[in-house]
Amino acid sequence: MKTPPISRRTVLRGIAGGAAVSVGLPLLEIFLNDNGTALAGGAPLPLRFGTWFWGCGMNPARWAPVSEGADYELSPELEVLGSLKSEVSVLSGFNVFLDGAPNEPHYTGVLANLTGTTPPDAGEQKAPTLDTLISAVHGGSTRFRSLEFSATGVPSQTFSRESDSIQNASIVSPIEAYNRIFGDGFFDPNEGPFVPDPKTILRGSALSAVAEDTARLEKRLGSHDKQRLDQYLTSLRQLERQIEISLSPPNLEACSRPRAPRSEDLGTEVGQANATHDLLTDLLVFALLCDQTRVFNMIFSWALSDLRFLGEDIAHHQLTHDEPVDRELGYQPRSTEFSQVSMRAWARFVDKLASTPEGDGTLLDNCLIMAHSEHSFAKSHLVAGIPVMVAGRAQGRVVPGVHVRGNGEPVSRIGLTMQQVMGVPVGEWGTGSHQTSQPVGEILA
C-alpha cells in the first residue's frame, strides 16, 4: 500500500488513531479533589511522585492483561505481581508517535513518553521530562528537589532531564545515597530535640556572597553563558533553600535514620542489580518517610539493558536482537527471562512501599508512581504500545488496580494525568501528535 507522499506534512505527522478511551475529569475537579487524603496528627502527609524504569520492554501479547478494568486477570508476564495487582494499574496500548522523526532505538520512546514531545534525533530533547515539571511544583519544600537512582552502576544513566545539557545524574551507590541523604544536614527526630547548628546558618550567608558574584558577572557574558550562569544560580538557590529547610526539619512520626549500608557491589549482573536496587529502595523509603524529597526516579535497568547473568557472555539488549522467537513458545525465552527479572524487581519495589506504614495507611497510598520502559517489543524497537504501569493511590486521587487499554491513544495522556494528579497547573500537554488535554479518566478517583 503506497501512501501518496505528496501532501507530505499530513503523511509525516501521523494520525492519532483509535477511539477515545474516555473523557477524564476536568482539571479543576482534580485540584479540588483533596479529600480522603490520609492525615497524621492533623498535618497533611506529603504527596510524592516517582518514576520506575526498566529497559528493553516486554512481549506485548504476553504482558497486557486480557481483561480490562478493575480486578483484571494477570497476564503471564505480570503474574509476578500476584496480590499486588490491586495496587498496580496497567496502561497498555498507548502509543508514542514519531511525527516524521526517526524512531531512534532505545531513545525516542522514552523521551517522547517523558516529555510529551518526539525528539527530533538521538540525544536531542525538546522539552523537560515530567518529573522535573512536577519537582518544579513540589521540590521547593524539601531538602532535595528530587532524588535519582540507578541500580546498574552508571551515574550518567538518568532520565531526569531539564534539557539535553541539564541532566540530573543518578546516585548509583547505596553508600553514597546514605551519606548524601542521611549524613550532614539530616535531622533524625528520634535523636532528641532539634538544635539549629550555627554553622548551618553561616553556610547560608556564605552562599549569599557567592550569589553576589554571579550578579557582577552576568554583565560580561554572552547570551549562551548567561543561560548557563542562570542555571548555576538556580542550583545555588536550591542549596540555600535546602539549608533553610534543614534549619526547621519536618517532624514526621514515621521518620527515623536508617542503618548505613555496609557494603555494595555495583554492576549489571542480575544479582548485583537486584541487590543494589533493593538497597536503594530501602534508603528511598526512609528518605520519603522523612520528607527529604517528594520526587524520585529509580532506574532498575537502563534502556539498552545491560543486565546479564553471571558467567554469560551475552547481555539482555543483545539477546533481544540476536535471539530468535521460539516457534513453539511464540516469544524469546532468554530475553523474556530478563524482562521477568525487571518485573520481579518492580513487584518488590511496590511491595516495599505498600508494606511501609505511614499515617493511617501505607507509604504507597501517599505516592504516585509511574513505571515505564523505552520499547514494547525490543526486537522490533516498537514504540507503539509502550508499556506503562501506575502504582499508588496518590492520597485517594487515583484508583489503583485497573487495566486500561489505550487503543493507540497518545502516551502523553498518561504524563498529563501524572502532572494533574500532582497538582501541576497544566490543562494541555505535549506537542504534535502528543498534544493532549485528556487525562486517563479510568484511573482517576
Residues between 354 and 383 that touch other proteins (CB under 8 A):
374, 377, 379-381
| Span 181-200, contacts to other proteins by CB under 8 A | 184, 198-199
Residues 19-38 that bind other proteins (CB under 8 A): none
Among 86, 251, 274, 431, interactor with other proteins by CB under 8 A: 431
With CB under 8 A as the contact rule, the residue among 35, 190, 223, 263 that binds other proteins is 223
Q: Is 11 in the site for other proteins (CB under 8 A)?
A: yes
CA end-to-end span of the chain, whole Å?
A: 44
Q: How far is the CB of 118 from other proteins (least distance, A)?
A: 7
Q: Could you tell me how many residues of this chain bind other proteins (CB under 8 A)?
A: 115
Identity of the residue numbered 104: E
| 303, 386, 402, 421: which one binds other proteins (CB under 8 A) | 303
Query: Residues 416, 394: contact at Cβ < 8 Å?
Result: no
Instruction: Establish if 413 lies at the interface with other proteins (CB under 8 A).
Output: no
Residue whose CB is less far from other proteins, 359 or 432: 432
Q: Which long-range contacts (CB under 8 A, 24 or more apart) does 21-24 make?
A: 21/404, 21/405, 21/406, 21/407, 21/409, 21/413, 21/438, 21/440, 21/441, 21/442, 22/440, 22/441, 22/442, 23/438, 23/441, 24/417, 24/438, 24/439, 24/440, 24/441, 24/444
d(CA 134, CA 129): 9
**Which of 37/135 has CB closer to other proteins?**
135
**Residues 314-353 contacting other proteins, CB under 8 A:** 314-315, 317-325
Q: Is 308 in the site for other proteins (CB under 8 A)?
A: yes
Binding of residue 107 to other proteins (CB under 8 A): yes
Which pairs count as long-range contacts for 376-380, CB under 8 Å and 24+ apart, including other chains?
376/57, 376/58, 376/60, 376/63, 377/57, 377/58, 377/59, 377/60, 378/56, 378/57, 378/317, 378/320, 378/321, 378/335, 379/320, 379/321, 379/325, 379/332, 379/335
Under rule CB under 8 A, residue 437 binds other proteins:
no
Distance CA 16, CA 288 (A): 38
DSSP letter at 371 equals E
Nearer to other proteins, 285 or 384 (CB): 384
**Residues between 144 and 163 that touch other proteins (CB under 8 A):** 144-145, 148, 153-159, 161, 163
Q: Which is nearer to other proteins, 190 or 223 (CB)?
A: 223
Q: Which is nearer to other proteins, 89 or 129 (CB)?
A: 129
Instruction: Name the nearest CA neighbour of 391 among 35, 49, 32, 40.
Output: 49
Grid look-up 548567561 returns 226
Paired sense of beta strands 39-40 and 88-92, if any: unpaired
CB of residue 32 to other proteins, shortest distance in Å = 32
Using CB under 8 A as the binding rule, whether residue 61 contacts other proteins is answered as no
Q: Which is nearer to other proteins, 86 or 438 (CB)?
A: 438
| Span 264-293, contacts to other proteins by CB under 8 A | 266-269
Q: How far is the CB of 241 from other proteins (least distance, A)?
A: 10
Q: Going residue by residue from 197 to 216, which x/- string records binding to other proteins, judged by CB under 8 A?
A: -xx-xxx-xxx-xx-xxx-x
With binding defined as CB under 8 A, does residue 219 bind other proteins? no
- Closest to 303 measured CA to CA, from 123, 147, 176: 123
